[in-house]
Amino acid sequence: MASTAKTPTRKDPASPAAPGGGSTTRGGRPAPGRSRVFHRGSVRMLIGAALLLVGSFTPWVITPLGSIPGHAGPGLMTLSAGFIAIAGAFLPYRRVAIAHCFIAGAGTAALLLWQLTRLIQLSAVTGTWGSMLPGIGMVLCAGGSVLLIGAGVLLLRSR
Domain positions in the chain are 42-157
Give the whole-number percent of the chain exceeding pLDDT 90.
42
Cα torsion 121, 126, 130, 132: sign: negative
Please give the pLDDT value at position 158: 83
Q: What is the pLDDT of residues 3-37, one digit of tens each?
A: 565 555 555 444 444 444 445 555 555 556 556 66
Report pTM. 0.73
Contact 111, 80 (CB under 8 A): no
Is the predicted pLDDT of residue 93 greater than 50, yes or no?
Answer: yes
SS3 per residue for 32-69: CCCCCCCCCCHHHHHHHHHHHHHHHHCEEEEECCEEEE
Q: DSSP alpha helices (H): ranges in the chain?
A: 42-57, 75-89, 94-126, 136-157
